[in-house]
Amino acid sequence: MDLSTTIAGVHFPTCLMNASGARCVTEHDLHKLGNSHAGAIVTKSMTPHERSGNPEPRYVSFDGGSINSMGLPNLGYQAYAQLIPDLRQYKKPVVASIAGLKPADFLEAVKAINVAKPDLMEINLSCPNIPGKPQIGYDFQASEELLMKIRDLAVPPIGVKLPPYFDPVHHEAMAEVLTRVGVSFISVINSVGNGLVLDAETETVVIKPKGGFGGLGGRIIKPVALANVRAFWKLVGEKIQIIGTGGVETGQDIFEHLLCGASAVQIGTVLVDEDVKVFERLKHELAGWLRKKGYDSVAECRGKLKAL
Ligand code: SIN
């Protein structure tokens, strides 16, 4: 069974990788991903300076998903620029995730990370967890201006990590931006921002930052993730490859993302829950699904979802 995929001309030995944020902050985390069955190593979204992130508790799993307001804890781009060359020993793509609190932060990081030669850069326009900083991906003009500048600076192919959109007009507007910029791939979706989970017994919120508001992940967001993959596949699938992110817990979930048009998937909540051994389980489960449905490869079933 061929579980490999190719994104922006880069070969991935399997189509499964971590979502930026899940177990990918430290040097130890990144080498663990290297030694695992993950098909790539995606770094935590990096900012100019090391950040400790938001106050704890800031990540809670619950039945059906997770809520987080991590606040971009990361080592700072200089540390990742030093780590990335060593990660190449694992013979799988290294994807540098770039974030920032203002546009200049992204440009600074892109310039520095070029030197480390990651295979791809994923530009994170969708972190919902920085108080006072709205998700850039919901501002189409600001997204376009920033991405045009990044495109002109970045050496590796760039992709964009997008927030979920809930209206076809917004899918269309972002698809036009992405086409004008000429990005190579998109990762959809980041967490569903600013959800609220509470504990009725104690009558409290479950995470501390932002009064308990945080990004939702896991099984509960799968329909939103699939809808975004499908919508972008229909709009730009011929030109821009899609990494499906959101609600992947089983091989069936991966198969559903592929049917909607994803070329690969990222794993978040269940990676936090099960650690890197999850990749081996998911590989076997995906192979089982493809075999059962008569497909020989990931590429064969991509986008094959039928309408009624
Ligand atoms: C965080 O660090 O708060 C999560 C990052 C993200 O959602 O992009």
215 lines ligand 1 (CB under 6 A): yes
Of residues 15, 127, 260, 301, which has the active-site annotation?
Answer: 127
- 58 domain residue, yes or no: no
Ligand 1 pocket test, candidate residues 68, 106, 124, most atoms within 8 A of CB? 68
102 assigned to some structural domain: yes
- Judge if the beta carbon of residue 47 lies within 6 A of ligand 1: no
Protein residue with its CA nearest to atom 2 in ligand 1: 72
For 108, half-sphere exposure in the C-beta direction (CA atoms, 13 angstrom radius) is: 14
What φ, ψ does residue 56 adopt, rounded to 5°? -90, 155
Q: How much of the chain exceeds pLDDT 90, in percent?
A: 100
pLDDT band at residue 287 using 50, 70 and 90 as cut-offs:
very high
Look at residue 209 and tell me if it is in a domain.
no
Q: What is the pLDDT of residue 164?
A: 98
The domain tally of the chain equals: 1
- The enclosing domain of 293 has a CATH number of 3.20.20.70
- CA gap 271, 251 in Å, rounded: 14
Q: Are 117 and 84 in contact (CB under 8 A)?
A: yes
pLDDT on residue 36: 98
Q: Which residues of 22-33 are buried (b: 16+ CB within 10 A; e: fewer)?
A: bbbbeeebbbbb
pTM over 0.95: yes
Mean pLDDT of 197-215: 98
- Its domain, for residue 168, covers 5-53+73-190+218-301
- Whose alpha carbon is nearest atom 7 of ligand 1? 127
- Please tell me the distance between residue 190's alpha carbon and the centre of ligand 1 in angstroms: 8
201 located within any domain: no
Give domain status of residue 184, yes or no: yes
The answer as to whether 112 is a domain residue is yes
Residue 64 lies in a domain: no
- What pLDDT does residue 273 have? 97
Tell me the C-alpha distance between 182 and 166, whole Å: 23
Is position 24 annotated as part of the catalytic site?
no
Residue-level pLDDT at 105: 98
- Which atom of ligand 1 is nearest the CA belonging to 69? 3
With cut-offs at 50, 70 and 90, classify the pLDDT of residue 306: very high
* Cα dist from 224 to 78, 246, 300, whole Å: 35, 8, 24
Residue 169 alpha carbon to ligand 1 centre in Å: 25
Over range 223-232, report the average pLDDT.
Answer: 99
Distance 295 CA to ligand 1 centre (A): 35
Closest protein CA for atom 5 of ligand 1: 127
- DSSP-derived secondary structure letter, 268: -
Task: Confirm whether 164 is domain-assigned.
Answer: yes
